[in-house]
Amino acid sequence: MRVHVADHPLVTHKLSVLRDRATQAPAFRELVAELVALLSYEATRDMRVTEVEVETPVATTTGVKISEPLPLAVPIIRAGLGMLDGFVKIVPACEVGFVGIVRDETTLQPQTYAKRLPEDLSNRQCFVLDPMLATGGSLSATVQFLFDAGASDVTAICLVAAPEGVQRMNRDFGDKNVTIVLGALDESLNDDGYIVPGLGDAGDRLYGTAE
């Protein structure tokens, strides 16, 4: 397993505005889309491509196109849906699968309530989208669904992670072809399972459901 933390002033700037409790849902959604676009650049560095011949108005040259089977984007509903548009803008050729997971607020255990994935994921590069990697339960369950369907190459894009979540992923997938691309690796988790300093509940902030 590999972990890549983006080290770029634009990412850190946008994350700082995202973290600010005064940032309201419309700006929050826009910033999430912009951050996904920046992180996708790093996350797709090893995307598989096939050589193609291209005729320019001047000459024939060799280019590339994204290989088939096409990559699969998997947003973890609900908050991960806020990252889908940003990813699809960068990789319009991708297909999209869905996993719906919510944490039990008391036990912090992930509860899966929806799953719609292609049956056979062998040879598919998969890109999981979820802004928050906290205890790691939700991401670990999702990556396991993908491996169970035959995937062997999974990249997760998360905006903010806690060290506890990264350790959990390393415990579960340390010897697997899994890459985690992060906007920031924060300090810790608090007793309620929230990332510190984090940005609060990403789903609530995206969809305006915070109390």
Ligand X SMILES: O=c1cc[nH]c(=O)[nH]1
Residues that bind ligand PRP (CB under 6 A): 76, 78-79, 101-103, 108, 110, 130-139, 165, 193, 201-203
Q: Please, what is the minimum distance in Å from the beta carbon of residue 20 to ligand X? A: 15
183 binds, among ligand PRP, ligand X, Mg ion, none (CB under 5 to 8 A by kind): none
Q: Which is nearer to ligand X, 100 or 193 (CB)?
A: 193
H or E element in which residue 204 lies: helix 202-207
Distance CA 150, CA 119 (A): 9
Does residue 85 bind Mg ion (CB under 5 A)?
no
The site map against ligand X for 157-196 (x = CB under 6 A) is: ------------------------------------xxx-
**Quick one: which segment of 22-30, 55-63, 70-78, 201-209 binds ligand X (CB under 6 A)?**
201-209
Of the candidates 115, 159, 103, the one whose C-alpha atom is nearest the C-alpha of residue 133 is 159
Q: Is 133 annotated as a binding residue?
A: yes
Sign of the C-alpha dihedral, residues 72, 73, 78, 84? negative
Q: Which of 132, 141, 154, 181 binds ligand X (CB under 6 A)?
A: 132
- In the chain, the amino acid numbered 123 is N
Q: Which of 134, 154, 158, 184 binds ligand X (CB under 6 A)?
A: 134
Q: Is 130 annotated as a binding residue?
A: yes
The distance in angstroms from the start CA to the end CA of the chain is 37
Q: Is 78 annotated as a binding residue?
A: yes
Q: Is 137 annotated as a binding residue?
A: yes
The verdict on whether omega for the bond into residue 26 sits within 30 degrees of 0, i.e. cis, is no
* Site residue total, ligand X (CB under 6 A): 10
198 binds, among Mg ion, ligand X, ligand PRP, none (CB under 5 to 8 A by kind): ligand X
In the Cβ-directed half-sphere of 120, how many Cα atoms lie within 13 Å? Answer: 3
Please list the residues that pair with 155 across neighbouring strands.
Answer: 127, 179
Site residues (CB under 6 A) for ligand X, limited to 47-106: 79
Q: Is 114 annotated as a binding residue?
A: no
Please list the residues that pair with 97 across neighbouring strands.
Answer: none
DSSP-derived secondary structure for 75-127: EEETGGGGGHHHHHHH-TT-EE-EEEEEE-TTT--EEEEEEE--S--TT-EEE
User: Which residues of the chain form contacts with ligand X (CB under 6 A)?
Assistant: 79, 132, 134, 193-195, 198, 201-203
Residues making up the binding site for uracil: 195, 200-202
Residues making up the binding site: 78, 103, 130-138, 195, 200-202
